[in-house]
Amino acid sequence: MRAAEVPAEVAREAVKNKYRVLDIQHHPENYDQVPSAAKKLGLPLLTIHSPCDEIGRRMIVQAIKSLDGDATVRQLVF
């Protein structure tokens, strides 16, 4: 939203409900299950979810920027 120059207060309000949903979904008792299992098994652990999200976001932004100003969603998808 920063890249699109959305005012900070408007951006916060837009994502407020999403944060609540994520807070509920990621309940504290699930917080340490995977790292604890890796430790017990003596295995190294690397989480790559966030980097993959960032790579995908950059690809989408690049695809959008490559379109003309009057492009349609259909042109973006295809």
Q: Is it the case that residue 13 has pLDDT exceeding 80?
A: yes
Amino acid identity of residue 76, one-letter, is: L
The reported pTM is 0.42
More confident residue, 26 or 69: 69
> Phi and psi dihedrals of 70, rounded to 5?
-105, 20
How far are the Cα atoms of 1, 58, 62 from residue 15, in angstroms, in the given order?
Answer: 10, 20, 23
Residue 25 has pLDDT above 90, yes or no: no
Burial class of residue 17 in the structure, from the number of CB atoms within 10 Å of its CB (0-12 exposed, 13-18 middle, 19+ buried): exposed
What does the pLDDT average to over 35-40? Answer: 94
Share of the chain above pLDDT 90, in %: 35
